[in-house]
């Protein structure tokens, strides 16, 4: 699940990759590469933005985040999908760009927007929308997206689409979504006498289970948390949500975490770290660190999204059978996010139509593209994780059934997570800047036994209010 992994790595902002540009033109009729603002190369495109792309229209589109050669199975499927897409639209040339740095690194993404060098169809996180709009980077595609151009539009969760809207205008189409839950190491749960099919449902239960797991010794931590690279603030926010609170008020202009709920989150973490000794001695952890710990049976549980498991299996050599998930403890709300593609502002109407047609085919069609679970099973790619799953109605029934039929992992390990959905809340405004401040709260709690909780929260409140005042 490449897009979900991209999401978390850019959030952490701590990866350095050498960017490479690879182009693939797999259309039935070859055309020259388009310029940034160019129109179609010919054909009979309709001037009505609501009309689907005319198959006779000859146009080239560039698309971000084509799988790199190192991901052989994913790249094979991409090429197959381009070929199948060209059976419907033989005159559209799809040029895929494999540019991991552009997909992964916040500074590179920002520089791309400022230079107006993004491809026609570019990859974003839901939280990128304000930055993209500030740089006038994405087309308003409201008029181009309807039940003719995206036939399953009514079956896409409106809360997911809502993340890609500003002032009721649509600026992107989703490729995946996620909500956070409690990821557990089933082996350690069993060794500690805990039921891996019934993960803790409250924060008190988490604390109790963490002590039992830590009592196994051998450097094993019961519960893990981040406190660096903006990920500590991200998880502090998730814990606030889980207790029914937020970190910013509805106006988006005032911090709200310096209250009873924020103090409860902070004091519970401080107690687990210093009184219980159940969080391990190594702190200042960021994304990737907890995954390594739990994959090597050194950590019992932490907050995560389901796609973390794919990363641990594919990149760290872990086994799907060793992991399970339950809903986020507290279950009042859970932090939600996801990934999308946006369309570069200023390109021609035919290019926009071709982009919408491609995104519909690749990302928004049950049984096709990314949701072709039978093909993924054959290609030995992960099938059976609960997310991405932004479908409703009959589309959800069909996708869930196919996901189960072609599962390549024990889906019953995620039953507690699936059977107990938690209302989702979006990330706060200026999320990365807010998280950076809240990192200081998390690091203070987890590295200083004498931490002053009230002072940590008060200082962070002042700093976040300054961040929000600059909107």
Q: Are residues 188 and 231 in the same domain?
A: yes
pLDDT at 101: 60
User: What's the pLDDT band for 416 if we cut at 50, 70, 90?
Assistant: very high
Least confident piece of the model among 108-112, 297-301, 409-413, 431-435 = 108-112
Q: Is residue 418 in a domain?
A: no
Q: Where are the beta strands (DSSP E) in 197-332?
A: 221-223, 299-304, 323-327
Q: Are residues 99 and 245 in the same domain?
A: no
Q: Are residues 283 and 225 in the same domain?
A: yes
By CB atoms closer than 10 A (0-12, 13-18, 19+), residue 455 is exposed
Residue 123 belongs to domain with CATH number: 3.40.190.10
- Distance between CA atoms of 200 and 181, rounded to whole angstroms? 11
pLDDT digits (tens, 9 = 90+) for 245-299: 999 999 999 999 999 999 999 999 999 999 999 999 999 999 999 999 999 999 9
User: Over 70: is that where the pLDDT of 70 sits?
Assistant: yes
Q: Is residue 107 in a domain?
A: yes
Between 19 and 232, the higher pLDDT residue: 232
Joined tokens for residue 14: 């701590």
Q: Is residue 419 in a domain?
A: no
Q: Is residue 410 in a domain?
A: no
Q: Are residues 265 and 368 in the same domain?
A: no
Q: Are residues 222 and 79 in the same domain?
A: no
pLDDT at 42: 55
**How crowded is the C-beta side of 85, counted as CA atoms within 13 Å?**
29
Q: Are residues 312 and 388 in the same domain?
A: no
User: Over 70: is that where the pLDDT of 471 sits?
Assistant: no
- Distance between CA atoms of 132 and 246, rounded to whole angstroms? 25
Q: Is residue 414 in a domain?
A: no
Domain total in the chain: 2
* Residues 457/266, Cβ–Cβ less than 8 Å: yes
Q: Are residues 281 and 430 in the same domain?
A: yes
The C-alpha angle with vertex 299 and arms to 197 and 434, in degrees rounded to 5, equals: 100
> pTM for the complete prediction?
0.81
pLDDT > 70: what percent of the chain? 89
Q: Is residue 417 in a domain?
A: no
Q: Are residues 145 and 191 in the same domain?
A: no
**pLDDT, averaged across the chain:** 90
* Domain interval for residue 279: 181-333+424-469
pLDDT at 34: 36
Pairing of strands 169-170, 165-166: antiparallel
Q: Are residues 35 and 103 in the same domain?
A: yes
* Residues 284/194, Cβ–Cβ less than 8 Å: no
Q: Are residues 318 and 463 in the same domain?
A: yes
pLDDT > 90: what percent of the chain? 81
Q: Is residue 102 in a domain?
A: yes
Q: Are residues 230 and 370 in the same domain?
A: no
Q: Are residues 63 and 175 in the same domain?
A: yes
């Amino acid at each position: 699940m490449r897009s979900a992994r991209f999401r978390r790595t850019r959030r952490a902002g701590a990866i350095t990759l050498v960017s490479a540009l690879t182009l693939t033109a797999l259309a039935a009729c070859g055309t020259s590469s388009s310029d940034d603002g160019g129109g179609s190369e010919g054909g009979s495109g309709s001037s009505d933005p609501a009309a689907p792309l005319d198959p006779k229209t000859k146009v080239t589109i560039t698309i971000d985040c084509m799988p790199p050669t190192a991901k052989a199975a994913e790249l094979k499927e991409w090429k197959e999908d381009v070929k199948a897409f060209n059976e419907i639209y033989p005159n559209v040339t799809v040029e895929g760009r494999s540019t991991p740095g552009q997909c992964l690194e916040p500074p590179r993404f920002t520089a791309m927007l400022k230079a107006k060098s993004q491809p026609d169809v570019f990859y974003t996180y839901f939280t990128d929308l304000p930055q993209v709009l500030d740089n006038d980077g994405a087309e308003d595609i409201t008029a181009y997206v309807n039940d003719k151009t995206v036939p399953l539009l009514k079956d896409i969760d409106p809360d997911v689409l809502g993340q890609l809207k500003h002032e009721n205008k649509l600026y992107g189409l989703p490729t995946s979504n996620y909500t956070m839950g409690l990821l557990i190491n089933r082996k350690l749960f069993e060794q500690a006498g805990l039921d891996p099919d019934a993960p803790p449902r409250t924060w008190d239960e988490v604390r109790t289970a963490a002590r039992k797991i830590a009592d196994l010794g051998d450097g094993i931590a019961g519960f893990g948390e981040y406190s660096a690279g903006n990920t500590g603030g991200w998880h502090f926010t998730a814990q606030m949500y889980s207790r029914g609170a937020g970190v910013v008020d509805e106006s988006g202009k005032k911090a709200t975490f310096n209250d009873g709920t924020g103090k409860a989150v902070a004091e519970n973490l401080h107690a687990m770290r210093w009184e219980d000794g159940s969080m391990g001695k190594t702190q200042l952890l960021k994304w990737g660190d907890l995954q390594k710990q739990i994959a090597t049976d050194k950590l019992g549980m932490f907050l995560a999204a389901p796609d973390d498991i794919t990363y641990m299996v594919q990149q760290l050599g872990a086994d799907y059978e060793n992991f399970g998930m339950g809903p986020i403890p507290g279950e009042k709300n859970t932090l939600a996010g996801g990934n999308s593609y946006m369309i570069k502002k200023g390109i021609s109407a035919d290019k926009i139509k071709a982009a919408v047609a491609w995104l519909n085919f690749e990302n928004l069609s049950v049984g096709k593209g990314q949701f072709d679970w039978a093909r993924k099973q054959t290609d030995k790619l992960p099938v059976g994780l609960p997310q991405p799953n932004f479908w409703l109605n009959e589309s959800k029934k069909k996708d869930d059934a196919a996901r189960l039929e072609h599962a390549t992992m024990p889906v019953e390990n995620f039953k507690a997570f699936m059977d107990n959905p938690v209302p989702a809340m979006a990330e706060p405004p200026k999320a990365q800047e807010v998280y950076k401040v809240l990192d200081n709260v998390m690091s203070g709690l987890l590295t200083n036994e004498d931490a002053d909780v009230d002072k940590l929260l008060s200082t962070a409140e002042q700093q976040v209010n300054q961040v929000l005042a600059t909107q």
